[in-house]
Amino acid sequence: MTPDEIQQIADLLAKTPGTKGVDLKDVKRLVELLRASPEVGSIEVKGMFGTGVVITRTAHGLGVAPMMHGTMPSMPLAGPAGESAAPVVPASPLKEIKSPMVGTYYACPEPGAEAYVRVGQRVTPGQTVCIVEAMKIMNEIEAELSGVVREICVDDAQPVEYGQVLFRVDPNG
């Protein structure tokens, strides 16, 4: 990322409701974190009611880190003795199935029943992969692609947000 692009991101975040505490040095630190930590897949900054930072990890990191509320985290991002940053990790070939709504994730149709899908199982478009309960309505979530489930990113009965990754699927598997 160029310094101008980083500045543009900082300016945009400063205008986003709920993210007033974000400034250029915070954005630079997040970019450094992405460069230096191959296990970090992405960093999402939210505003308003979802104020905080969500850090997702690559397949090596196993899922989504908890959301940290408030301003940017204060953590050292450079390596020991000022080592140079690691190269950027290429994008994962895995495709994501995301939650289409806020609610509670359920892996099976009822307590004690077998889960809709397991890691290593093949899914096809239209196949139910889980349920997201929203406002006492059980919404069956269907796969939109074919492939092999490589990662289940949430635990049963866990709250999920709109757009949160539920599964990672290998379309070539």
Q: How many of the other CB atoms lie within 10 Å of CB of 60?
A: 9
Hey, what amino acid is at 85? A
Predicted confidence (pLDDT) at residue 83 exceeds the cutoff of 80: no
pLDDT, residue 41, reads 63
Question: How long is the chain?
Answer: 173
pLDDT greater than 70 at residue 44: no
pLDDT score, position 147: 95
Q: What is the pLDDT of residues 123-163, one digit of tens each?
A: 999 999 999 999 989 999 999 999 999 999 999 999 999 99
Half-sphere exposure of 143 (CA within 13 A, CB side): 21
The amino acid occupying position 160 is: V
Name residue, tokens 């994962």: 92
Specify the range with the lowest mean pLDDT, choosing from 24-28, 78-82, 117-121. 78-82
| Predicted confidence band of residue 69 (pLDDT cuts 50, 70, 90) | very low
Q: E strands of 7-80, at which residues?
A: 40-46, 52-57
- pTM of the predicted model, to two decimals? 0.49
pLDDT confidence band for 7 (50 / 70 / 90): confident
For residues 132 and 118, give the distance between their C-alpha atoms in angstroms, rounded to a whole number.
Answer: 17
Q: What pLDDT is stored for residue 16 in this prediction? A: 61
Burial letters for 62-87: b for 16+ Cβ neighbours within 10 Å, e otherwise? eebeeeeeeebeeeebeeeeeeeeee
| Residue 24 reports pLDDT greater than 60 | yes
Using CA atoms in the order 169, 45, 163, 93, what is the torsion angle rounded to 10 degrees?
A: -20
Task: Map out the domains of the chain with their CATH numbers.
Answer: 3-82 (no CATH), 95-170 (2.40.50.100)
